[in-house]
């Protein structure tokens, strides 16, 4: 099944966001149908915080590492496309396709600044990305993100206005991370006939995949949530070791032989 065909409203697949070759390989071995990069999780591996601190070259190189580790499609979480101008976003699309990515997502946050692109500018950037994607020799799934609700830049009404405009501009999949409530998510889904991505984080990680299917969701991504699960293990184990002098949490480690088997 192609990466595009996985995006079926009402039958969502899980885009498993990995942060290195090993995590990508493990997730694919455990059943992931596609792997996504995570800008935040990738930044963590470099000792950097989330939010526009990684260059396009770094992101592309990282994506190549993940693609080399797995045989399933890989999609890039490429923040704002690594430039403010529509031409920058178009170039990111072209370079992503050149290395073999199945698609990328582009958000409307004007990183590294703490603001959203104005509506018209945000739409022009997606139009440029779509034009570049349609000119490619191979299929390419372009996801348009309206991140302003999650980032506190605008409300759900503005997110819906942007989703509809991104849809009209030709985006293949629409994405409003952390829209505020399940009711707001339902409004996002109703605003388009195209697949909608849900971020399984925060309160949205408490819902079942079957409920998202019933709502008509097309894709569920993990963002940096799975990476942060591993960081929670580090936090808890370090607190026990350095403050309490106990190593008992290390007894919960996965057997090395099991990990080795998944990486072979």
Assess if residue 83 is contained within a domain.
Answer: yes
How would residue 264 be classed by pLDDT, with cut points 50, 70 and 90?
Answer: confident
Mean pLDDT of 5-34: 97
- β-pairing verdict for 103-107 and 34-36: unpaired
pTM of structure:
0.94
- How many angstroms separate the CA atoms of 5 and 18, rounded? 21
Mean pLDDT of 162-180: 98
Mean pLDDT of 87-111: 98
Contacts 24+ apart (CB under 8 A), 87-94: 87/128, 89/125, 89/126, 89/128, 89/129, 89/132, 90/128, 90/129, 90/131, 90/132, 91/132, 92/56, 92/129, 93/129, 93/132, 93/133, 93/136, 93/140, 93/142, 94/132, 94/136
Which tokens hold the place of 86?
């529509």
pLDDT above 90 for 233: yes
Average pLDDT, the chain: 97
* CA-based nearest residue to 217, from 8, 34, 77: 8
**What is the model's pLDDT at position 230?**
95
The C-alpha R_g of the chain, in whole angstroms, comes to: 18
pLDDT above 90 for 41: yes
pLDDT in tens, 153-167: 999 999 999 999 999
- Torsion over CA: 90, 96, 101, 105 (sign): negative
Range of the domain at 171: 3-227
Whole-number percent of the chain with pLDDT over 90:
97
- How many angstroms separate the CA atoms of 237 and 229, rounded? 12
Counting the structural domains of the chain, the total is 1
Assess if residue 22 is contained within a domain.
Answer: yes
Kind and range of the H or E run holding 15: strand 13-17
**What is the model's pLDDT at position 69?**
97
CATH number at residue 187: 3.20.20.60
Assess if residue 239 is contained within a domain.
Answer: no
pLDDT above 90 for 51: no
Q: What is the DSSP letter of 58?
A: H
**Residue 103 in contact with residue 75, Cβ under 8 Å?**
yes
Assess if residue 234 is contained within a domain.
Answer: no
pLDDT above 90 for 105: yes
**What is the model's pLDDT at position 1?**
86
**What is the model's pLDDT at position 183?**
97
Assess if residue 87 is contained within a domain.
Answer: yes
Assess if residue 245 is contained within a domain.
Answer: no
Mean pLDDT of 136-159: 97
Report the alpha-carbon angle 249-224-4, nearest 5. Answer: 130
- How many angstroms separate the CA atoms of 4 and 13, rounded? 11
First to last CA, the chain: 24
Assess if residue 248 is contained within a domain.
Answer: no
pLDDT above 90 for 77: yes
**Residue 118 in contact with residue 148, Cβ under 8 Å?**
no
**What is the model's pLDDT at position 86?**
98
What are the C-alpha distances in Å from 131 to residues 148, 170, 190, 235?
24, 9, 25, 44
pLDDT in tens, 195-220: 999 999 999 999 999 999 999 999 99
Assess if residue 17 is contained within a domain.
Answer: yes
* CA-based nearest residue to 76, from 35, 132, 30: 35
């Amino acid at each position: 099944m192609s990466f595009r065909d996985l995006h079926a409203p009402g039958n969502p697949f899980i885009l498993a966001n990995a942060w290195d070759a090993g995590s990508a390989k493990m997730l694919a071995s455990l059943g992931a149908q596609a792997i996504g990069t995570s800008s935040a999780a990738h930044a963590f591996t470099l000792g950097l915080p989330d939010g526009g601190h990684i260059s396009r070259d770094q992101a592309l190189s990282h994506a190549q590492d993940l693609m080399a580790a797995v045989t399933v499609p890989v999609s890039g979480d490429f923040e704002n496309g690594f430039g403010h101008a529509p031409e920058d976003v178009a170039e990111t699309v072209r370079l992503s396709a050149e290395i073999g990515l199945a698609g990328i997502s582009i958000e409307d946050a004007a990183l590294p600044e703490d603001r959203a692109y104005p509506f018209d500018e945000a739409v022009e950037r997606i139009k440029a990305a779509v034009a570049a994607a349609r000119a490619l020799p191979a299929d390419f799934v372009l996801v348009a993100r309206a991140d302003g609700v999650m980032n506190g830049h605008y409300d759900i009404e503005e997110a819906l206005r942007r989703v509809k405009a991104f849809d009209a501009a030709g985006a293949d999949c629409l994405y409003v991370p952390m829209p505020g409530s399940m009711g707001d998510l339902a409004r996002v889904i109703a605003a388009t006939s195209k697949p909608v991505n849900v971020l399984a984080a925060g309160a949205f990680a408490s819902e079942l995949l079957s409920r998202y299917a019933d709502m008509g969701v097309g894709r569920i991504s993990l963002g940096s949530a799975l990476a942060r699960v591993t960081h929670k293990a580090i936090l808890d184990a370090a607190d026990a070791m350095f403050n309490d002098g106990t190593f008992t949490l290390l007894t919960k480690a996965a057997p090395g032989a099991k990990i080795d088997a998944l990486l072979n």
